[in-house]
Amino acid sequence: MIQVRFEDSTMFRWNTLAALLIVASSHALADEKPLAWRTDYDSARKEAIDKGLPLFVKVFSDTCIHCQRLDAGPLRDPIIVELLKQRFVPLIIDGSRSPKLVEALRIQSYPTMIIATTDGKIFAFLEGYREAPALTDQLQRALAVETPDWMARDFKESAKAIGTGDYAKAIPLLKAILEDGKDRPVQTKSKSVLDEIEQQASGRLVRVTKLQDQGQHAEAMDLVTELLSRYPGTKAAADGTKQLTSLADRPEMKANVRSRRAADLLAQAKEAFKVEKYSASLELCEILETTYKDLSEGKQGAELAKDIRSSPEKLALACEVLNERLATMYATLGDSLLKKGQKELAAANFEKAVRAAPASLVARDAQIKLTGLSTKPQTLTTEFQKPEK
């Protein structure tokens, strides 16, 4: 017989209690921000298309014991919850209330979990209960094949940029997603978004042509200049460049183009100064004091630059911005190298980004990528499809 001393028994109870507390705290963390399950199939499909994310569908029955086990265990696992929150559109379907949908999806047992691409194709069909590690592995493999991490990230960034009207940032992100010429759902959506942007830019170009035909050359020049700034990289912008050259060559335009340009630069420099963007203001002032020094705008730009240069506080803020800009350039170069499989060079540039502006968000993201490069496991590509009955 094995004898257990009181101290050993007490220690055993404390260790057990500690383990239970750890498990409980992990579930509490997952419950802190509950997973927002979608309940309408059509709206979930639309959301998946809009966001360029795969669908995760859980089909259940109230009388299913294994469905309850799945809810109480794996679907409360913090890793799985975070994956479903960030990388999927999670949809829950009560099989007893959606018989037509269950029939269409060929559901034979509960629970059934489905991973589907944004175009509605079933990617993985998981019948029955799955432990958390196995389910996590299925989700990660599906993501690796469905949408590369950088594509999902860049698509989200482009959506944010479009939301703020920053098409100049969104266009190169979307073009990079389409670069390999494949037909992933996120690429289909990216092409659609790019086409919409191109249509907007083309509409501006049509207005430019109308203004030219009506003899409103100054207004046409303003509009085409705005087109080039707002929609760089579009076909309309390329065509607009030719029209801008044609407009600028007109005798009546040459006389006032230079003074208008100087006035615009001065207005931008003053606005940047007003919102404490001293680095941008100083750059604009330097153009004014060198290129337009014979104009009043050039003299005003020189005075504004003098104000910034004579203030250590303003110069310090300007230097911080320049450091962040440098860090952003290094991080962007790292991303570009990483896409081409040059991991060592990518890591070196991420390190430079961290050193350039250690307290910035860019440095934080670069550090995360560095950690991922040193710890990321090899991804296996697997075909997922429901076996024929």
Model confidence over 233-275: pLDDT tens digits?
999 999 988 888 877 777 666 556 677 788 889 999 999 999 9
The answer to whether the beta carbons of residues 144 and 183 sit under 8 Å apart is no
- For the four alpha carbons of 319, 321, 324 and 325, in that order, the dihedral sign comes to negative
Model confidence pLDDT, tens digit, residues 289-300: 888 888 889 899
Number of domains in the chain: 4
- Alpha-carbon distance 262 to 301, whole Å? 9
Is residue 183 domain-resident?
yes
List pLDDT tens digits, range 171-197: 999 999 898 777 777 888 899 999 999
Residue 309 resides in a domain: no
| 232 and 326, same domain (yes or no) | no
User: Where a domain ends, among 222, 249, 276?
Assistant: 249
pLDDT of res. 120: 67
Averaged over 147-161, what is the pLDDT? Answer: 83
Query: What's the mean pLDDT in 326-350?
Result: 90
| pLDDT for position 2 | 36
- pLDDT of 147 reads 67
Residues 102 and 192 reside in one and the same domain: no
Q: Last residue of a domain, which of 249, 269, 302? A: 249
Domain match, 345 and 369 both = yes
CA–CA gap between residue 320 and residue 5 (Å, rounded): 63
Same domain, 46 and 136: yes
Which CATH number is 227's domain given? 1.25.40
- CATH code for the domain in which residue 347 is found: 1.20.58
Same domain membership, residue 236 and residue 320: no
Domain extent, residue 22, equals 1-32
In a domain, 302, yes or no: no
Report d(CA 69, CA 67) in Å as an integer.
5
| Digit-coded pLDDT (tens) for 73-132 | 999 999 999 999 988 999 999 988 888 888 888 888 899 999 887 666 777 889 999 999
Q: Which of 118-127, 158-167, 304-313 has the lowest mean pLDDT?
A: 118-127
- In a 13 Å sphere around the CA of 182, the CA atoms on its Cβ side amount to 11
In a domain, 75, yes or no: yes
**Whether pTM exceeds 0.85:** no
pLDDT attached to residue 119: 62
CATH, residue 58:
3.40.30.10
Length reported for the chain: 389
Strands 122-127 and 55-60 turn out to be unpaired
**Mean of the per-residue pLDDT values of the chain:** 82
d(CA 79, CA 133) in angstroms, rounded, equals 9
- The reply to whether 116 and 155 lie within a common domain is no
Do residues 63 and 131 share a domain? yes
* 45 and 137 within one domain: yes
